Each structure stands twice: as structure tokens, then as C-alpha cells.
Chain A
């Protein structure tokens, strides 16, 4: 090992077909982007207006763009998994090696959870939460840009192995030891896994703290907890979970790092190490994490069903209680991920029953959504389509899940494709559909024009049909005894036709995704026709619809006073217009320190992967210095004078009529 380069040698350069292909793809895309930006002279604009921005609306859009790119990346993995499983039967060994196959599903899982679902949600939180609580900003603008850049650093990390190292973890998405220990995974794959999760996880934790404080401290006057929109409530629940569980993830991965980096024995099989400890710890993060993803989606659905039924949400108190109940129960069920690890019947039964009890608050939510539709006047725009599709899909997936809450049943379906189908039903049919619904719903707020409905509907139908075609075969395969993560199986099992059907489903889903891309392109081209001059295209109920689309940098020229739960709906009914008295507005300045801090942390992670001690020290000191510099900077705000605000508001009025 050299002092200068650690374990990094020329052998780390790409030499297998997939790393070469990945590197070439990354290089071409990189060159194309750089050439475009240079040609159009957009560098300065990009840096000043976007990359260093502390405006949550811009940060939100950047999150969503990165998450979309990662969705593309994760989807390619899904396609590769399917192709191998359709081909590799009997005498054929498919087109990739077992080890490569294992790297692909590991990356697929991590990317879809950490960089797609979490990324989209962080985007929606940034875009919408401050607007819904009548705030001009988040509590900690610097933390917000730092969170974004840590997320992006993690996203780069998860792809970096293409260029240097040539392997990702081949362990499954949670890198369970002892398989992830040096003894069984000596390469840098697991280290890349460790640092991509550790860095993006830090970003998530900081984001969780930021939005928790934002919701608790920055609501418009009069907005008591029980007057908050449902999306704010469920996001608050989600944040409570984030700050409770992400420290567990960080600590667990840190202990694994010590095992791998320093030769310690926390989770090895020998010298007193115990892999079961890791499994228990990682799932006490991992199960609540599912609810971190799904709770905000519940909130989105609650907003959408009320808006498009043109009716107040049924049983608000009940829905809030249900969300809190889910939050608490979410922390008490993690052991159901390892009923088969040999805990006694008392322990298994306790966690099994807790798992099933999550159904009760969830059912209360579903019933109240249905009650909201009852005697409503439902307008079927695409967000509402996604909602109906969600209830259908999610209820089935929930049933599949409760079934696994019975340990006796779990023993039979654990680690099978039934389980794989179940969690895809929850994450795609629950969280991802919610994200798509939310993006369609709030798109006009963020951009000022609505999305093309027809293409959106095509996308919806492709997704839902493709979803069932893809995952019903997996449920059946589970019943046929097919375990997950198989790179090869025998022809006599009779599984191949079902894998092929699943692949057809995947192609249909891909068409759906294609329609979504088309939808964005067409909508941008037709933005003049679809312009939203009112700021309220759906006849909305909550405060974000009270301001113009896209909102001015300060969101609210005058901070609203809240007296009602659906404040904007009530305002529209009473037709009162508040007196327009403007005041000076303080806004955070942009800062590049978030990028620099994250850059140093990235260097630190990179150095830890390759055991380059000096670079790790540089990275760590650099990151700490950046934060110290920021904390001594007292010039972090600028003022928009009252008459400037008045002028901007008047300009807007004349533009929109």
C-alpha cells in the first residue's frame, strides 16, 4: 500500500465491459453537459442562480432532477436483473456472472430507496412544505443546501465504482454481515456502499432536523398543529422518524467501517463479533425507514383526495391520530425482518402482532379517504387517477404484508419473491405513485404551467398495468418456492414463463416512464397554452395555492393569518381580501459553502474507500473548516425593501391580469 495512493492502483481502472460502458456513458454525458453549458454561457447563471441557492423551491427542483436521473439508473438495473433471470435457466448461465448480478441488485435496491424515493420526497418537502405552512423559508437555509449536496455526493459515490474500483457491494442492499465483512467481501465494493449511504444518510438526517424545526417553529401565525395541512402532518411524522432512526444507521455503518478499516470484530463471526447485532440494528433503522417514505405519500393523497373531491378531508383528527399511530408503531416492528433468526415464540409473536396492528391506523386513513370521496364532486385529473390506483394496489400489498406479520407464514415466504413483490407493491404502489401524484399536482405551482393531461393519463395506465404484470408473477413465484436474488435456476422449476411475463410488465412500465418524459417535454413546449395565471389551477384548499405560480422568491409578500384548517378554501368562500401592507423582507443569501463542505466530505469518503490516510485528514479538516467559516459569517441575509416588494407584486399583477 503506498502512502500517496493507498490501495488505489492502475488495476482500479475500468476493465470489464460494464465498467467500461458505464465510464464511457458517464464521460459522454459529462462532456455533453459541459459543452452545452459552455456554449450557451450558462456556467455563471447555473452557479449563482441554482447550485449555490438557498431557496428551498430551487433546491427542491434540483433534488427532483437528480432523483429522476437516479430513477433512470435504477431502472436500467431492474432491466438487467430481469434479463438475467429470464435467460439463466438450466444449461444457460445468462449473460452476466453471479457476482456482477449480485452487485446489480444491491445497487438497484440502494439507489431506489436512498436516491430515488428519498430524493423525490426531499424535493417535494423543499418545494411545498414552506408554502403550505405560510413560511418564506426553512429554519436553516445553510443546512438545506448542505443536505442537497451531501445527497448529490452520495449519488455520485454510488456510481463512482464504474470509473474507479470496478465493483459495488455484492451483498444485498443492506450489506448484512458476515457477508459484508472483509473475510467474504475483500474488495472496495462494500466500502463504496458504506460511504454512499453514510454521506447521503448524513444529508437526510440534517434535512430531517431542518424540516422538523421548520414545521414546529415557522408556521404562519394562527396555524396551530391541528390546523396544519395533512401533508405537513405526515411529513412531520416522517421527520420525527428520520431524526430517531438515521443516527442508528450512521452508527451501525460506522461500526461496520471499523470492522473493515481497523480489523475490529463488532459483526464478524469470530473473536466475539456478532452479525445478528448488525441485523437487528440495521432493521431498527430499516423498517421505520419504510414509513419515512410512505407517510409523506399518505399526506399527498390526503391533499389530493380532498382537492379533487372538492370536499373537506373526512375525519381530519382521525387521520392525524392514525399518522401518529403509524409513526409510533413503525418503531416497534423491526424484528419481523428476521423471524427466521431463531428468536423465541414470545418475541416473534410480539413483533408479529405489532406489525399487524399497523393495519388499524392505516385502515382508518383509507376509510377516511373513501369517506372524503363520498358525496364529493370528483374531478378525475391525473393526480386523482394515481390516488385510485394507489388505494387499489396498496390495499393488496398491505394484505400481503399483514400475512407476513404471522411468523408461521413468514417462515415460508421469507426471502422469497413473494416478499420482493410485497415491498415493491408498497414502495411503487404507495410511495412512488404518491410522488408522481404529488409532482403532477404541484408542478404548476413550481413552474407556472400545468402538465399535459393526456400524456399523464397514458403514463398512469402504463404504470399500473405494467406494475401488475410485473409483480403478480413474483407473488406467484414466491408461492412456487422461488427465493430472491437467484442468478440461475433449473428449467424443471417451471419459473421461466413467469419471469418473462414479469419482464413484459417491466417494458410496459418503461413505456409509462417514457410517457412521463414526453409529458414534461410537451408540456414545456406548450407552456403558453397551459399557463396557470391564477396560482390555483385545481381549486385548491391550502395556502400554497393562495400565492402566484411560480411563487416569488419570498413566497408570501404578506405572511397570511390562519384561522381555518383549509384556510385558502375559506378565504375563497368569504371573498375577503386582506389589506396589502408590505414590509421589508429578510431572505438568506446564497452560499457556496454547502458545496465546498460536501466536496470535502466526498474526498474524505473517497480516501476512506481507498485507505489514503492523508486525503482523509484533508477531507475531514476541510469539511470542519467550512462549517466553522460559515458559523462566523454574520452576513448571511439580504433585505428586500417594502417598496421593492410592492413593485414586484404590482409587476406580477399586471403580467397575469
Chain B
């Protein structure tokens, strides 16, 4: 009786709690479960496959745990075998079941890791666009080398076009993340890392800095906007038409610490800016502080 109450006492509140939380959370907000690009989609599927496979072991564990706790409690007078020994066969089985599941997961792991390697360019007929990303204290700078424009805390790109992000940092380390498009990649000073993402449809997606990088990092948010090709072209033109070039002096000002920066747009930029920012950590570079 007592144990029965106990089991109910564990399971009921747990179920209620989950239910309540689902209601509170509102399903549309679960960005990881609402992917908007092929990479995030595959990563979400991996989660589902992984969880399903593991439940094969986890569910029986729960059932056995509560059944045994209930059945073999002292008051119940079930069969009692204090000196029972289990056969080697039984032990082999205990090791074999998880081994098989983990072997399956290992194959999935190996394949998916190579498939989803963030450094690997996406296969597509569409010509990719390159966007260079610099983590600054505490804002994100996006440089478009082909379009010769730059933005802060806002990045726009055409839909269904592979985006080749190149990442570096001109400050502490950070992690660049657009949850609905795919996983993170670190941005580190003196190095260039890569992240290949794509949006399947137009939309605005939240982007963030996932690694602590000092006081203002929680305000280091940006919007990633996927638009149609023509919208992108006209947006680029509108930015180019502004008279706000990103020269060295402006860059040095931008690179100084400041928090919660609103989006900013630069009509032109130095072609070598990204490389110079990286090289600054290798040797003295002209102009960059």
C-alpha cells in the first residue's frame, strides 16, 4: 500500500508537471524542435532517433525499478532468495543489450558527425554566399566581402542559398548560434572557424552568443533574416546607398566595449578587414588597435 502511494506520488506530479510546462512553454517557442533549415532539421531528427533508441533501455528500467520496489517490499512476503547468484549468461545479457544499442548509436554518431561537420560546405546548385562574422565586445559584426557591406547585430541572406559563415573574434571567445538554422560554432581570436547553414524559407530567426565573453554578452543578440533573392538584392543596394562606410577609425570605435547595441549598417568596408582582424593577433597590423 505504502509503496503504491509512493509510486503514484512520483508519477502523478511528474506527469502533471510536464503537462503544465508544455502549456506554459507554448510549442511554437521550442526553436530546436521547429527547424527552419536543413541542418537544424537533421540535428532535430538525430535527437528524436537518439531518444527513441535509448527509451528501449530506459523504459524497462523504470518498469522494473517500480515493479521490484513494489513487489519485493518487506511487507509483501514475495519470494525471498537472499543468496541468489546470477549466471554468467545473465551477466553477458546485461552487458550485451546496452552494447548493441550503443553500437547502433555509434554508427549513427559516426555518420551524422561527418555529415553535419560545420566546416563542410553544403551541397547545392545555388551559388553560396560568404558572410564573415566577428565577435566584438559585445556585439556581432557581419562583413559581406562580395557585396562589400557590413552590419552589426543583424544579418540578412537569401533563402535556400548555402551561407558560408567564417567566424573570428576580436575579443574573448564566443559561440555563434542561430538555433532554428543549426548548431553553434566558436569564434576565436587569431583563428577563423567555419559554419555552413541554410534557411529553407523566408523568416526572421533569433541569433545569440552562447559563450560567456564578459559583462555585456547576454545583450549580444542578433536577428538572422532569410529573404527571397530579389529582396536580398534590393536590401544590399539600400545598404550600399547609405553613406556610412566602415573605415578603420569606425571599426576601432566599434571594437571598443559597449552593450546592447542596436542593428547598424555600413555601406562599404575594407576588403581585408576580416583578415586583418585575424592577423592582428599574429603580427602588428596597420591601423587596427
A364-B98 in contact (CB<8A): yes
B72-A318 in contact (CB<8A): no
**In the complex, which residue of chain A has the Cβ closest to the Cβ of B108?**
A406
A409-B26 in contact (CB<8A): no
CB of A344 closer than 8 Å to a CB of B: yes
B80-A349 in contact (CB<8A): no
Smallest CB separation, A412 vs chain B (Å): 5
Q: Which residues of B contact A176 (CB under 8 A)?
A: 173
**In the complex, which residue of chain B has the Cβ closest to the Cβ of A88?**
B218
A494-B26 in contact (CB<8A): yes
B95-A364 in contact (CB<8A): yes
B10-A392 in contact (CB<8A): yes
Q: Which residues of A contact B102 (CB under 8 A)?
A: 356-357, 359-360
A408-B72 in contact (CB<8A): no
* A-B pairs with beta carbons under 8 A, tally: 285
A171-B46 in contact (CB<8A): no
B175-A464 in contact (CB<8A): no
B43-A409 in contact (CB<8A): yes
B46-A315 in contact (CB<8A): no
Within 8 A of B (CB), among A93-115: 98-99, 102
B86-A479 in contact (CB<8A): no
Q: Which residues of B contact A469 (CB under 8 A)?
A: 17
The answer, among B3, B82, B85, B113, for a CB contact under 8 Å with A352, is B113
**In the complex, which residue of chain A has the Cβ closest to the Cβ of B73?**
A378
B94-A368 in contact (CB<8A): yes
> How would residues 177 to 216 of chain B score, 1 for a CB under 8 Å from any chain A CB and 0 otherwise?
1011011111011110110000000000010111111111
Q: Which residues of B contact A468 (CB under 8 A)?
A: 13-14, 17
CB of B116 closer than 8 Å to a CB of A: yes
CB of A391 closer than 8 Å to a CB of B: yes
How many residues of A sit at the interface, in one of the four size bands? 35 or more
Q: Which of B49-57, B121-129, B147-155 contacts A (4 or more CB under 8 A)?
A: B49-57
The binding surface of chain A is classed by DSSP as helix
CB of B236 closer than 8 Å to a CB of A: no
CB of B235 closer than 8 Å to a CB of A: no
B173-A275 in contact (CB<8A): yes
A412-B97 in contact (CB<8A): no
CB of A476 closer than 8 Å to a CB of B: yes
Beyond A408-B112, A483-B210, A501-B21, whether A98 also contacts B218 by CB under 8 A is yes
Q: Which residues of B contact A464 (CB under 8 A)?
A: 10
**In the complex, which residue of chain B has the Cβ closest to the Cβ of A97?**
B215
Q: Which residues of A contact B272 (CB under 8 A)?
A: none
Smallest CB separation, B5 vs chain A (Å): 11
CB of B233 closer than 8 Å to a CB of A: no
- Complex CA gap A368/B94 in Å reads 8
CB of A380 closer than 8 Å to a CB of B: yes
The answer, among B74, B78, B84, B183, for a CB contact under 8 Å with A379, is B74
Q: Which of A123-131, A485-493, A548-556, A586-594 contacts B (4 or more CB under 8 A)?
A: A485-493
Within 8 A of A (CB), among B72-121: 72-74, 78-86, 90-91, 94-95, 97-99, 102, 105-106, 108-110, 112-120
A483-B208 in contact (CB<8A): yes
A392-B212 in contact (CB<8A): no
Q: Which residues of B contact A413 (CB under 8 A)?
A: 32
B113-A395 in contact (CB<8A): no
CB of B31 closer than 8 Å to a CB of A: yes
Beyond A376-B80, A377-B74, whether A179 also contacts B214 by CB under 8 A is yes
Q: Which of B58-66, B157-165, B238-246 contacts A (4 or more CB under 8 A)?
A: B58-66
B29-A493 in contact (CB<8A): yes
Beyond A269-B189, A315-B94, A374-B72, whether A349 also contacts B109 by CB under 8 A is yes
Q: Which residues of A contact B171 (CB under 8 A)?
A: 184
How many residues of B sit at the interface, in one of the four size bands? 35 or more
**In the complex, which residue of chain B has the Cβ closest to the Cβ of A492?**
B206
**In the complex, which residue of chain B has the Cβ closest to the Cβ of A457?**
B6
Q: Which residues of A contact B13 (CB under 8 A)?
A: 465, 468
> How would residues 266 to 278 of chain A score, 1 for a CB under 8 Å from any chain B CB and 0 otherwise?
0001100001100
CB of A23 closer than 8 Å to a CB of B: no
Q: Which of A140-148, A150-158, A306-314, A519-527 contacts B (4 or more CB under 8 A)?
A: A306-314
CB of A423 closer than 8 Å to a CB of B: no
Beyond A171-B212, A312-B82, whether A344 also contacts B108 by CB under 8 A is no
> How would residues 527 to 555 of chain A score, 1 for a CB under 8 Å from any chain B CB and 0 otherwise?
00000000000000000000000000000
A411-B184 in contact (CB<8A): yes
The answer, among A179, A371, A376, for a CB contact under 8 Å with B213, is A179
A480-B109 in contact (CB<8A): no
B188-A356 in contact (CB<8A): no
The answer, among B30, B78, B94, for a CB contact under 8 Å with A479, is B30
Smallest CB separation, B98 vs chain A (Å): 4
* Chain B contact residues, CB within 8 Å of chain A: 2-3, 9-10, 13-14, 17-18, 20-21, 24-26, 29-33, 40, 42-44, 46-47, 50-51, 54-55, 57-58, 61-62, 64-65, 68-69, 72-74, 78-86, 90-91, 94-95, 97-99, 102, 105-106, 108-110, 112-120, 171-173, 175, 177, 179-180, 182-186, 188-191, 193-194, 206, 208-219, 221, 259, 281
Q: Name the 6 nearest CB pairs between A and B, nearest first.
A: A411-B183, A363-B98, A349-B113, A269-B189, A481-B179, A415-B210
